[in-house]
Homo-oligomer: A and B are copies of this chain.
Amino acid sequence: MSSPSKRKVSIKDVAATAGVSLQTVSRVVNGSEEVASATRERVQAAIDSLGYRRNELARNLIQGRSRTLGVVCAGQDYLGGRQLNSGITAEAEAFGYALLIREHQPDDPEPDDRFVQGLLDRQVEGILWMLAERHTAHEALIRRITETHGVPVVALVRSESVGVPFSAFDNFGAGVMATRHLIERGRRRIVHIAGPEHAWDAQERLRGWRHAMEEAGLPADDSHLVFGNWGPEGGEAGFLTLRERLGGFDAVFAGNDHTALGAMSAAHKLGLQIPGDVAFIGVDDVKGSGWYVPPLSTIRRNRVEMGRQAVRMLARLIEAGRAGQTLALPDYLCAPELILRESS
């Protein structure tokens, strides 16, 4: 093995071996034009031979900016929860921002100030908020982050009441789209197995279902509705509950694909034909949903684009903040896309 911990080479070392001042090295490193090409080459040679790399920490400190974004996300198994979508990482990369992650585990206490303190202490310039719970504690926390600490926040969940701009999926539109699709297919008794009651996106999809049903003059009262947990268990239980409650129905709009999967499983066990007796549609276009039995119709969202937009918005807010301005940013609403398969 070679020497384990060789001292880091600093700008000072480069300056010494190149025989110039620190400042000149700094200029070369930052690509300033105001340096003679002769010295530039000399400095560059020293940099290369010493293997110098500038210490971003020091640079961040003096410039008063960390070039870092905080990401607050759920640590659960929900798709779109724990998963960092590549749009965020790619766009952050492009803006020169690093990403600091803070996960909220399901069994953690509700997020309070201490929860984001670690991000704030590391001087993140902005925060991407990916938690979908409808909890007033969240709203208060977000407000404190933006107002007390002056750190901009962009939400990846639609939640007007929080008062920060968002880049989110049009969950309401998705609910409408899914339900209208079933109606167009001639279905009339369409039930909804929603996500958890306290989740923003679940509520929005539910609203969409109700809207589409009512505009078609079909029943969408609470008897046609049951809440699940985003998982197959909830879908299975919900399906059985609804059967017992209503006797029968001819279509299921499931809050997401996993819920639909569980519900379809229940239908199979009851000997029902899909889509003959009951049609199904989900939301997410989860990996594998095209190979369920039968392949599941679903609503897709462009996560990459949502992520990109969120980072762009945050970057603009940070920029404005540095300039001392307050910016009213338009939200970005990601359009749902219908994926037709055999289940409906």
Q: Which residues of A contact B (CB under 8 A)?
A: 1-6, 51, 53-58, 60-61, 66, 75, 77, 79, 82-84, 86, 89-90, 93, 98-103, 105, 117-118, 120-123, 147-148, 150, 231-232, 235-236, 257-258, 261-262, 264-265, 268, 286-288, 290-293, 321-322, 324, 326
Q: Is the CB of A1 within 8 A of B57?
A: no
Q: Is the CB of A57 within 8 A of B55?
A: no
Interface hub of A4, A55, A84, A232 (most chain B Cβ within 10 A): A4
Determine how close the nearest CB of chain B comes to the CB of A21; give it in whole angstroms. Answer: 22
Q: A103-B84, A268-B293, A291-B261 in contact; A5/B57 too (CB < 8 A)?
A: no
Q: Is the CB of A150 within 8 A of B5?
A: yes
Apart from the given pairs A1-B326, A98-B118, A261-B292, 8 other A-B contacts in the complex at a CB distance below 8 Å: A2-B148, A82-B86, A84-B101, A86-B103, A90-B105, A98-B100, A99-B100, A99-B101
Q: Is the CB of B262 within 8 A of A2?
A: no
A238 to B135, CA, bound (A): 47
Which residue on B lies nearest to A121, using beta carbons? B56
Within 8 Å CB of A117, what residues of B? 53
A324 to B6, CA, bound (A): 10
A186 to B61, CA, bound (A): 66
Within 8 Å CB of A100, what residues of B? 98-100
Q: A261-B288, A262-B291, A291-B232 in contact; A55/B98 too (CB < 8 A)?
A: no
Which residue on B lies nearest to A82, using beta carbons? B83
Pick from B51, B86, B123, B264: contact of A56, CB below 8 A. Answer: B123
Pick from B5, B101, B122, B268: contact of A321, CB below 8 A. Answer: B5
A83 to B121, CA, bound (A): 25
Q: Is the CB of B147 within 8 A of A2?
A: yes
Q: Is the CB of B53 within 8 A of A121?
A: yes
Q: Is the CB of B77 within 8 A of A287?
A: yes
